[in-house]
Amino acid sequence: MDFFEKHIRPLLIQKCYECHSHESGESDGDLFLDSAAAMLKGGSRGAVLVPGKPDQSLLMRVINYRDRNLQMPPSGKLSESQIDLLRAWIEAGALDPRMEEPNKIDNTHDIANTSPIDRDPSTHWAFNLPTRQRANAVLHADVEDTIDVLAASAAEEANIVVSSRADRATLLRRLYYDLTGLPPSLDTIQTFTESKRPDAYHRLVDQLLASPGFGERFGRHWLDVARYADTVGYALGGKERRYKGSERYRDWTIRSFAQDMPYDEMVYHQLAADRTDPSNENGNLEAMGFLTLGRQFLNPLDTIDDRIDVITRGLLGLTVACARCHDHKFDPIPTEDYYALGGIIASSQRPKNGASPLMLVDKPNPIDSPVLVRGQIGNRGPIVPRRFLTALRSEQEKRFTDGSGRKELADKIATPDNPLTARVMVNRVWSYLIGKPLVSNPSDFGFRTKPPAIPEILDELAATFSEDWSIKKLVRRIVLSKIYQQRVTTDAASLTADPENQLLARGNRKRRDFESLRDSILAVSGTLDHALGGPPVSITSNKPTHRRTIYAMIDRQNLPALFRTFDFASPDTHSPGRYFTTVPQQALFLMNSPEMMAIARATAGVIRQQKKSPGVTHTRAIFRRILGRDPSQHELVMATAFIQTPIQKPKPTTDPRSLWSYGTTTMSPERKEGQPSEFSALERYRDGRWQASDEFPTTAPFGHAYLGKSGGHTTSDPSLGVVRRYTAPQNETITLEGNIRHKSDQGDGVTFVIHVNGQEVYESTQLNSQQTHGPHQFRLKAGDTVDLIATPGRTSSFDSFEWTAKLQTANAQEERDSMKHFSGPFEKKKIQSLDRLEQLAQILILSNEFAFID
């Protein structure tokens, strides 16, 4: 929904509503685009979109100008970025919050149909201050905390059985994951599970809250909120893509959580550290990376929009950025509020020689912003004074006058008098620890969002949190609660009555996020580097670091596939929470990547070093190390039998890329038929093609000669051909088929020749024409060559050509494809298979038990 409001609705308003909206009174082709139902219904040509299938959607066809008779908008084609936005929206299911057509809305005066701007904020639960709660502890004498009494009462009223306390081993693993993102050591497991101290759990909580891992774990949570990255995104003209000092914000965030900086202070520093720590004496200017580390946009108005969004969704749980082009469609947030905040951002700038590369300062002459009607820069409305949101200020409150207004904005957000600030942060922390937020959308507390099933729990926690703003005290209270310590299992009747666990009568099973999964795998292998802070590091290079994942380089323009595969939060925009998918690529990485194979070897190596006796001893040790428990008797028998089973050596395989080479050959008339062709390799690989030197074009006889994935260009010498050579790895019978093409009507064409061990088997000259050749069949011995040669005529001008060929072995068992298997230089890696103990380590790391936390 946020994507639609931020990107799609403004685009439709700007480009489509003039001819396809109820407001304009126009419906060309009987098509309206100003409601969800109308878009799905379509017009005289049928439905305009098919959710999830952009290639089948009429909308994509007409905006791409594929149909000469139907091109929209008629005033000019959309930009590629705008087309990409619409494609992404349709691919994601075309989610659209516009439920009613404008002319069908009932204009009665009840709250449901009142204009959102006219709604009284006090009628919505989230806009009222949270208060401390009283609970009848007499009815639940076995619980101590008010939130536990509230939950137990709700469950009792619904006739739901509350789960009992989880066992110590489960709680230990749960606590370590939630507070540090790491698994407990074997010694810790043994000490805690065998301890007779009644306060053992409380002591463990305090120990983990004081550990460096807590700052790293909660720091990473906050970096999702702050859309942290180390690069600017797209950069023009060779400009530097790295944000100078980006890691300073990451390290400040970690340090702030580790030291339990009060949350209101964290907010102040992130919005106005130039006022709270102007000389950076306490290192708080780095906090302003919260504002300055977003994507770098070509349009400065988009930068302002990004900063408004991260402030309002991140700190207040309000989607104010939806009011950029129009009044908010659901909440009492007029467009004037958006531009009031916009003036604050526009009145701030980066100093040339500041105490921190991340800081902002107030401009000497702050400015108020005009409303841009429909978000269009050329359509200016009234000037709006810099001030706070209408729904959260009284009529007596005046405009901001202290510089840009960022300090005054922080005053309005970081206060117990703001009904949203504490609630939003408490809800985030609850989600991190319990596995599900109390409020379903952590970054939208507006009128569309329902209160929690037990709203008193959120109010109780928020009211107490805002007394001292201590994150650690809040975390400690939650993890010491009975709610947190419950087992994840329950009886069938309770599961049926409350399948989503809204009444908190049992624990929630949680899946490890990307950072915890990777860090935990490194931890059990004994290779995790616990060093703190510093510049970002690569975790996807050929020699990846074993630092914790929070220190990984985040390149927002080229986010590595590994991050996307494991559902890493997008660094392009504020992220309300993580979304988990299950796709084959995840298992394939864990099974086949060189890094994971090295991890499996390291893990088994630790076991062998500690336990000299193989068999049962190794089985028990590796279960304890990876899963933190002893194997069951059945697991012990099966796993021990597995590691004692001999491994059959795999049949050696050949990388098909290694069978192709790229060079030139002399087409001398003195060469005898059947004599192997001379071959001189093209020495340089640049921009996806093989060529004779770094300089291109180069001197005669090579000129424009090159070979690429699907073709190339001839040399400037008719007696020197460019050749794509296939070398047989073994005795084999192959069938060769291909396509040749010369694609210019100028010049004198290109001659295509096939030599098998120097024996010519095919020749054809093409001029602005193409031909399919083959099938040619021949028997080869290991080391025999098949040369695909292209030569010029009298002139080499206009001699670009295409030539693709497929060589199929007998019975179609293997295929050698000139295009599919084309490559630049590559290192032929010898794949070393895992032994049985290493395979068992890999199996346990791949298990659901390792990936999920009960």
State the average pLDDT over residues 141-148. 80
Dist. CA 802–CA 739, nearest whole Å: 8
pLDDT (0 to 100) of residue 673: 57
pLDDT digits (tens, 9 = 90+) for 408-438: 999 999 999 999 999 999 999 999 999 999 9
pLDDT of residue 78: 87
Q: Report pLDDT for 102.
A: 45
Give the relative orientation of helices 594-610 and 514-525 as an angle to the nearest 10 degrees: 40
CB 342 within 8 A of CB 330: no
Identify the weakest region by mean pLDDT among 313-322, 340-349, 664-673.
664-673
Which residue, among 65, 61, 122, 109, has the nearest Cα to 87 in the 3D structure? 61
Q: Which two tokens stand for residue 102?
A: 């404008």
pLDDT at 700: 87
Average pLDDT over residues 440-462: 95
Round to whole Å and give the CA distance between 774 and 815: 15
pLDDT of residue 51: 87
**pLDDT reported for residue 831:** 62
At 84 the pLDDT is 83
Span of 295-309, 435-449, 670-684 with lowest mean pLDDT: 670-684
Local confidence band at 260 (pLDDT 50, 70, 90 cut-offs): very high
Higher per-residue confidence, 804 vs 652: 804
pLDDT-derived band at 100 (thresholds 50, 70, 90) equals: very low
Q: What pLDDT is stored for residue 140 in this prediction?
A: 55
Q: How confident is the model at residue 24 (pLDDT cuts 50, 70, 90)?
A: low
Q: What domains are defined for the chain?
A: 2-105 (no CATH), 137-212+454-509 (no CATH), 262-413 (no CATH), 595-650+833-853 (no CATH), 656-817 (2.60.120)
Distance separating alpha carbons of residues 63 and 72, to the nearest angstrom: 5
Digit-coded pLDDT (tens) for 208-229 = 999 999 999 999 999 999 999 9
Q: Are 750 and 792 in contact (CB under 8 A)?
A: yes
Report pLDDT for 118: 85
Structure tokens at 250: 């990451």
Dihedrals phi, psi of 719, to nearest 5 degrees: -90, 5
Under the banding of pLDDT at 50, 70 and 90, the label for residue 110 is very low
Return the ∠ at Cα 122 (arms to 117 and 128), rounded to 5°. Answer: 130
pLDDT per position as a tens digit, 572-584: 999 999 989 888 9
- Poorest-pLDDT segment among 7-11, 548-552, 599-603: 7-11
pLDDT of amino acid 812: 64
- Mean pLDDT value across residues 755-773: 93
Residues ≥6 apart with Cβ < 8 Å to 101: 22, 32, 34, 35, 37, 38
Helices (H), 135-286: 146-157, 168-180, 186-194, 200-209, 212-225, 246-258, 263-276
Question: Do residues 21 and 35 lie in contact, with contact meaning Cβ atoms separated by under 8 Å?
Answer: no
Q: What is the pLDDT of residue 497?
A: 93
What is the number of H-type helices and E-type strands within the chain? 29, 22
Q: Is the pLDDT of residue 672 over 70?
A: no
Which pLDDT score, from 0 to 100, does residue 93 have?
Answer: 82
Distance CA 698, CA 627 (A): 61
State the number of CA atoms in the 13 A half-sphere of 392 facing the CB. Answer: 27
DSSP codes, 53-89: -GGG-HHHHHHTT-BTTB-SSTT-PPPHHHHHHHHHH
Question: Exposure string (b/e) for 129-151, b if CB count within 10 Å is 16 or more?
Answer: ebeebebeeeebeebebbbbbbb
Q: Which pLDDT value is given to residue 374?
A: 87
Residues sharing a CB contact under 8 Å with residue 681, sequence separation 6 or more, in sequence order: 661, 662, 663
Name every residue whose Cβ is closer than 8 Å to that of residue 110 and which is 6 or more positions away in sequence: none
Residue-wise burial string across 600-628, b where 16 or more C-beta atoms lie within 10 A, e elsewhere: bbbbbbbbeeebeeeebebbbbbbbbbbb
What is the per-residue pLDDT for 16? 85
Higher pLDDT, 844 or 64: 844
How confident is residue 733, by pLDDT bands cut at 50, 70 and 90?
very high
pLDDT at 652: 74
Q: What tokens does 46 get?
A: 């049928």
In the predicted model, what is the mean pLDDT of residues 294-320? 95
Mean pLDDT to the nearest integer, 659-684: 79
**Which CA distances in Å does 187 have to 195, 479, 493, 604, 620?**
12, 22, 39, 19, 15
**pLDDT greater at residue 791 or residue 28:** 791
- What is the mean predicted confidence (pLDDT) over 665-669? 78
pLDDT digits (tens, 9 = 90+) for 605-626: 999 998 777 889 999 999 999 9
- 555, 540 in Cβ contact below 8 A? no
Q: Using one digit for the tens of pLDDT, what is the confidence trace for 494-547?
A: 999 999 999 999 999 999 999 999 999 999 999 999 999 999 999 998 888 999
Res. 12 pLDDT band, cuts 50 70 90: confident
pTM for the predicted model, two decimal places: 0.76
pLDDT of 600 above 60: yes
Instruction: In whole angstroms, give the CA distance from residue 630 to residue 636.
Output: 9
Q: What is the largest CA-CA distance in the chain?
A: 108
- The rounded distance, in Å, linking the Cα atoms of 119 and 113 is 9
Q: What pLDDT does residue 290 have?
A: 98
- Tens of pLDDT, residue by residue over 537-574, are 999 988 889 999 999 999 998 899 999 999 999 999 99
The pLDDT of 102-125, averaged and rounded, is: 64
Mean pLDDT, the chain, whole residue set: 90
The confidence score (pLDDT) of residue 25 equals 59
Contacts of 669 (CB under 8 A, 6+ apart): none
d(Cα 297, Cα 699) in Å, to the nearest integer? 43
